[in-house]
Amino acid sequence: MRNILLTIAYDGTNYCGWQIQPNGVTIEEKLQKAFLGMDGSRVKVIGSGRTDARVHARGQRANVVLNSTVPTDRLPYALNAKLPSDIVVKNAKEVPMDFHARYDALGKTYRYRLHTAEFKDPIERNYHYHVSEDLDIAKFKAALETLKGTHDFKGFMASGSSVKTTVRTIDEIEVHTVDSNNIDVYISADGFLYNMVRIIIGSVVDVARGKRTMEQLEEALKHQKRKQAGHTAPPQGLFLEEVRYGLND
C-alpha cells in the first residue's frame, strides 16, 4: 500500500465541481474512474478542498491510498490515458501513510481573472469575469489591501458551510495587469471559506465601480455581516493555483 499525492490541473467548465454528487459529472468522479480503468483499483480520492462548478485549477492536490503495481512516477501517464482531455494529472509522489491532502494543507493560492472591456470576449468567456463598467484601479487595490491580515471573514462566506472557525489569514494579495483588458488577482491564505475569494472579488469590484463604499467593506469585515459585503463574482474567473504543505514539493 502506498499513499500518493497527486497534482492535478483541470478546466472546470463542463463539471459540477470537484466533489462527487448524484446530479452531475465531477472531477473527483473522473479521477476515481481513471484509477478503476487503469488497473481495476477502487480508491477514494481525497482532495485538498472542493472547487465549485465551472471553477478551474492548475495546482489542485489530492491523495489516494493505492494498492497497485504501477510505479509512482508512471501514474500520471497511466491516469492521463484514461482521463478526458480537460483533466490532467501533472505529478505523483509518495507521501507518509498518515498524510491527508485536506487536513495537512498549510495554505493555498487562488487567482481570479477580470476582463474589463465594453464587450465580452467570446473566446475567453469561460475563463474570466467580464466587467463592462470602468474600474477605479486605485480603489480596487486599496479595497484588497483592507482585507490582508488575520480577520474573521464570516461576512465573506456563503451560507451552507459548517466550519469550526471563520478566522483566516490572508498573507498576500497581488494585482497583475496582464494587458489593457485583463487583470489577475492572486490571493494567498492559510485557508479559504466557502465562496470567500469570489465574494472578495465581487466586493472590491463594487467598490471600484462606485456601487459600494470602502466604509461598507470595512463594516462587513468588522461586523461579519454578509449583506454588507458585495456580490459574489462568477465562478469561471477563479483558478486554484497552488496548495502548500510541509513537504519538499
Say if CB 65 and CB 3 are below 8 A apart.
Answer: yes
Residue numbers annotated as active site? 52
C-alpha span between 144 and 146 (Å, rounded): 5
Give the CA dihedral 224, 226, 230, 231, nearest 10 degrees. 150
Say if CB 112 and CB 187 are below 8 A apart.
Answer: yes
The total of other beta-carbon atoms located within 10 Å of residue 12's CB is 27
The DSSP symbol for 154 reads G
Q: How far is CA 88 from the centre of its chain?
A: 16
CA distances from 114 to 109, 169, 189 (A): 17, 23, 20
Helices (H) and strands (E) in the chain, counts: 5, 10
Q: Is 84 helix (H, G, I), strand (E, B) or coil?
A: coil
